[in-house]
Structures are given as C-alpha cells and as structure tokens.
Structure 1
C-alpha cells in the first residue's frame, strides 16, 4: 500500500486536510510520519510488576515457567507464542513466530515443532542453533534464549502431532510451507483433501513433522519499567547441557 494511503508522507511533503467524519463531525488529523504515530504513546506507560533479581532461582527454567504462568493469569493474549530466530545458508538471520509446545524446566529446554522441510527446518538441519524471544507487553516482560537445537525421534514427533488441534493437523498435512501459491483456491482444495484424509485416518502424521528442543546456553530475563529502570538478569550455563549448572549476572539497562 502506498505511504500516502496510510497517512504517511516523505520529508517536505504535504497532504490534504482530512474531510468530515461519517456523521459530519471533523475527522481527526492524520499523522504525517511514522514518528508522529508514536508520539504521545510512550512504551510501558502503565503499572508493571517488579522483579527482584536477587530472589530469582538459581536456574532459569523454573523462573520462565513462573513468568509464563503469570502471563496466563494476567490474560496476556497468546502468551505461549514466541519468535524463533535462525540463520540461513548465507549466514543471514531469519525469524518467525511459533507456538511453544513444552518447557523442560529441569534441563532448561524449550520445545517447539515444525515441518523439517520448511525453511526453518532446513536451516536448523544445516546450523542447529537458534535464539528464542518472548515478549509479554501487558507485563513489560521479555525473555531471550540462545542455545543449540536438537531434533527429537520420529516417535516423539508422532505423539506430539496427535495433541495438536484438528485445524493444526490439517494445515500440517497440507504441507508445502512457504512454497509459492498460485491462488487461494489451490490452497482451499488442498485443505479439503487433507481434511478428508484426517477424517479417514485420525492417527495420520504429516510427513516430515518434527519436534525440536532448544537447549539454552544463555537466558536473559528483562523486566521493563516506565522510568527506564529496567531490570535485566542473565543466566549463563557453566556445565554440560541438561545439567543445573548456571551463573547469574545483573546487566546494565
């Protein structure tokens, strides 16, 4: 969409005054630039929880589970949604939003699933490391995780697939994630075929469905503050993966 259709113009450009609203009342003035869209809307200008980093547990897994539960109880929309970042064959970063499937709090692993032949699946096969980012706006809380990624056995993936909603299973059975699509009708036809397959074979598993665990090497908890007195606590693994050996460091905001 052209910038002027969104009420945005380039430097030095002008735009006509907005016409009256539907009821004849004056329409609000439209912003002229992206910064104007954000002026008067400072981030985190609302009551936020505090975070006593000194009282945090020795390991990051239990703290993440506690923060996730708090987000659920606070009514944060889709608190289990996170951003997964990988790198492609050229070393360029790539990111997308996924759904967290489980947390191994003891071993400090974040579990997710996807198609092994999707772009992210291929990237993880070539370079099994990733970063995970969660942000819960209502609480002003962010969690950043970095580590190595391990693919689970096919039996684990099959069992996980059975726990997914019918719509999610149908979408996975359609497959061809991120491939060019000729038309919406082509997709709807593929969905219908996948739905009939699932109805005929309820235990069907999409080819290439894979479950991965991101084993954290580093985890940072970030509690925002309206006065920018943010609290940042970083955990760094000091022992082998799956062992409860971590160091903790407070970071400057």
Structure 2
C-alpha cells in the first residue's frame, strides 16, 4: 500500500476485467422509486422533532423495522464494533436501546461511553446519524424495560450467554426452553445484567437521497449535552 497525492494505492494496478461480485454490485440500482422530498428550510430547531417526523413517515409508508439502528461502539483501544439494535424510545434528549451487560457493546461502553447510531430507511433513501455520549438509565429503568419485553424475548435474554462458545444449536434451544418455563413460573423475573442506555447526541444528521445525487444533508450540532442546537445545510 502506498500514498500518492493524497490517494491510497493498494497492491498492483487495478484489474480491468472486474469481478463477478463487483459487476453484480454495480448493477444494483440505488435511490430508485418515488422518494419523499425534504426542504431544509423547514427543519425545526430541535432534531428530535425532525427525527420523530421522519420516523412517523417511515412507519406510515410501511418501511420494515424502521426502529432498527446500527449501533457502533469502541473499547479503550479504539477498535470499532457495530451491530443492529432496536430503538426503544427517544425521550429526554436520548435515543434509548437495551442490551445485556455481558455483551461486547456494554463492555465497550464501560471503557468508552460514546457511540454512534445510524438509521437507514431504504425505500425512502433516508438516513439519520446520531453520535455522542451514552448514559445508563439506572436499575429501575433497566427492570421496567426488561419486563416490558414479550415473554419470548425475556426468555431468550435469560437463556443466552453473549459471546461465549456454543456447542450446538440444540444447546441454545434447550436453554431457551428452560428459560421459557422460568418466565411462565416467575413472570416478574428480571435479568440482573439487563441494561437500558441512552445515546444523548452532540451531533445528529439527516440525509435525504436524490436519484440525481443532489442529496440533501442537514447537520445539527451542539457543544455539550444541554447546550442549544444549531443546524445547517452541508455538502453531501
């Protein structure tokens, strides 16, 4: 790998014939369909209001799992890790998600309490990016969130040991079956390792794709949690 004029060159000269995967990828259409419009002049002062509006629009449009977000964390050594989680709520300035304290994301947050999340609503060519510090909501909120989950979800959470070696799918099935019995017998059981977190952003960006690539991108920023927001239209 070498760097020349600010460009990174990897290996030898680029292949001229391409690859099957590259050719397939380049034939996939992007920003297709009847996309919504976004007038940046109408953006409110608070990004939570705009997020709620976009999320509501996605729900009404039938976008699949619009509450799914890609959450990126990094531990003390800076190694990034990303996965898809479910947004539980957006309140008190925080985008909430829950996880097992034994999971990698929880361990990352214990070492580096900052994260970034991305929502992608493909049928609408819309993205929302959120980044900033992550706060623990507390034991009462942890328990309330866990008990609000479906019995099947509670059983799964009680059964698993995140990231540990698993002998076979049968072992997992047996553990979940045993946990389902426990949930039926003891419906008030709460997983002690369950945690509810809130990503309280310092930056929120809204991206509206355009088939001509004239994308609209509005960035909200603030200097500290609790400080007033400012927003501007930025180049895509």
2:22 aligned to 22, 35, 46, which one? 35
Shift of 1:32: 5.8
Deviations 1:218-243 (A, max 9, x none): 000000000000000000014x4245
CA RMSD, Structure 1 to Structure 2 (Å): 1.7
Q: For 2:93 and 2:145, locate their aligned partners in 1 and report how far apart those are by CA, in whole Å.
A: 19
Which residue in the other structure is 1:88 paired with?
75
* Distance 1:12-1:234 versus aligned 2 partners, 3 A rule: closer
Deviations 1:33-84 (A, max 9, x none): 1122133332112221111111110010010011001000000000000000
Which residue in the other structure is 1:24 paired with?
none
SS of alignment partner, residue 27 of structure 2: coil
Q: Which 4+ residue blocks in structure 1 deviate beyond 6 angstroms?
A: none
Verify the 8 A CA contact 1:60 1:108 in the aligned structure 2.
no
Verify the 8 A CA contact 2:218 2:234 in the aligned structure 1.
yes
Which residue in the other structure is 1:3 paired with?
none
Shift of 1:155: 0.9
Verify the 8 A CA contact 1:173 1:207 in the aligned structure 2.
no
Q: 2:160 aligned with 1:175, yes or no?
A: yes
SS of alignment partner, residue 165 of structure 2: coil
Which residue in the other structure is 2:114 paired with?
129
Which residue in the other structure is 1:19 paired with?
none
Which residue in the other structure is 2:189 paired with?
204
Gaps of 5+ in 1: 1-10, 14-30
Which residue in the other structure is 1:144 paired with?
129
Shift of 1:12: 9.4
Name the TM-score, length of structure 1 as normaliser: 0.84
Q: For 1:235 and 1:108, locate their aligned partners in 2 and report how far apart those are by CA, in whole Å.
A: 13
Gaps of 5+ in 2: 1-14
Q: 2:32 aligned with 1:49, yes or no?
A: no
Q: For 1:57 and 1:184, locate their aligned partners in 2 and report how far apart those are by CA, in whole Å.
A: 49
Shift of 1:125: 0.8
1:235 aligned to 195, 199, 220, which one? 220
Q: 2:134 aligned with 1:158, yes or no?
A: no
Q: 2:196 aligned with 1:248, yes or no?
A: no
1:62 aligned to 28, 45, 49, which one? 49
Q: 2:204 aligned with 1:219, yes or no?
A: yes
Q: For 2:187 and 2:32, locate their aligned partners in 1 and report how far apart those are by CA, in whole Å.
A: 49
Q: 2:63 aligned with 1:79, yes or no?
A: no
- Higher alpha-carbon Rg: 1
Q: For 1:137 and 1:118, locate their aligned partners in 2 and report how far apart those are by CA, in whole Å.
A: 28
SS of alignment partner, residue 76 of structure 2: coil
Q: For 2:80 and 2:196, locate their aligned partners in 1 and report how far apart those are by CA, in whole Å.
A: 21
Shift of 1:247: 0.7
